[in-house]
Structure 1
C-alpha cells in the first residue's frame, strides 16, 4: 500500500463538506437568512445624497482606481445603481456614473429642481394640487430637502421656501414613488 502525505489525506467528513461548499458556491446559494456578502441589503437602484462637500468619484470600486471627478457640494442627490462591497456606483443628474465609498453617502433624501430645464422656472405651490396658489418660482438645479412625496407631488424645504412641486420636475425621486 502506498503512503500518502498527511496533508493530502482527507476524512470522509472533510471531503463531504468540501463538496457541499463547492456545489453551494457553484449554484450561488448562501446559508439561509444570510445577506448577500458585500451589499447593504438596501434596494438598488435608490436615491441617496452626498454627505460631504468633497466627494471623490472613481473609475472603479476601490482606492486604486483613478478619481474621475470630485463633487464639491454636500446634499446633492445621486442614484445608487450598483454595489460592490463597501463601494457604490452612482449616477448624478447629468447621467455621469462612477464609484463612491459608502460612507460618503447619506440616506437623507434631497432633490434638484428640473436640472434639465434651461431659462424656465418651476412653480412652488402651497398645497399638492396643480391649481394651488404659487408661492415661489424655483430656478433649475435648486437643491431642496424632500419632506414627503405622494406619487404626484413632493413637499420641498429649502433656504427661504417650503411648498409643493410636481414629482416629475425633480431629480432625486422616482416617478410615482411615495416618500414619508
Structure 2
C-alpha cells in the first residue's frame, strides 16, 4: 500500500469515526412507548378530578405522599403500570396516580408574571388578554413556536416557553 493510499484510508476512517461520534452525541427523539397504552412517554395530560392522591407506588396499598387539589393542572406521565400512571408536576414532584383521575385534555400553567395572548401567532398582533402567573389554560392548538390558549373565557396565541405543559417540539391541533 502506498503512502497516498494509506493517507486517504486514514482520512476516510477518521471522517467516519467523526460522523459516528457526532451522531452518537446528538440526543435522539424519545421513541419510548407506554407498556399499557402504547402512547409516547413522556407525555402531558391534566387532572380530571378536583382532587387526586399521589402514591409512592402503583397500587392502593402504597402510601399517599400528597394530594393534588387543582382540577385541570398539567402533569407529565413518565411511566405506566396497569391502571396507574407515574406523573410529575412542573416542579418535578410526582408519584403514582390512578388513570381515572387523569384527562387527555392538554393544559399549561403560566410561569411568567404576565403572559400576553395575541389575536394570531405573531408578536405584532393585537393583544387580546393577559394571563397572570399560575393561571392554568387549555391548550387548543400548538404550532412550532406558538400555542393557542384559552382561560377565563379569553382566547389567544402565546409563544412557547412562558408556560409549562408543552414541549418545544410539540405540534398539534
TM range (shorter): 0.7 to 0.9
Which consecutive aligned stretches of 4+ in structure 1 deviate over 6 angstroms post-superposition?
Answer: none
1:24-52 residue CA offsets vs partner (Å, 9 max, x unmatched): xxxxxxxxxxxx99511111100001110
* Structure 2: unaligned runs, 5 residues or longer: 1-32
* Structure 1: unaligned runs, 5 residues or longer: 1-35
The answer on whether the counterparts of 2:34 and 2:79 sit within 8 Å (CA) in structure 1 is no
1:146 corresponds to: 139
How much does 1:132 deviate?
A: 1.5
Residue 103 of structure 2 corresponds to residue 106 of structure 1: yes
Larger radius of gyration: 1
Count, aligned residues: 141
The equivalences for 1:1-180 within 5 A come to 39-114=36-111, 117=112, 120-180=113-173
Q: Distance in 2 between matches of 1:177 and 1:38?
A: 22
Q: Distance in 1 between matches of 2:125 and 2:65?
A: 43
TM-score normalised per structure 1: 0.74
For the aligned residue pairs, the C-alpha RMSD in angstroms reads 1.6
How much does 1:134 deviate?
A: 1.6
Q: Distance in 1 between matches of 2:159 and 2:34?
A: 38
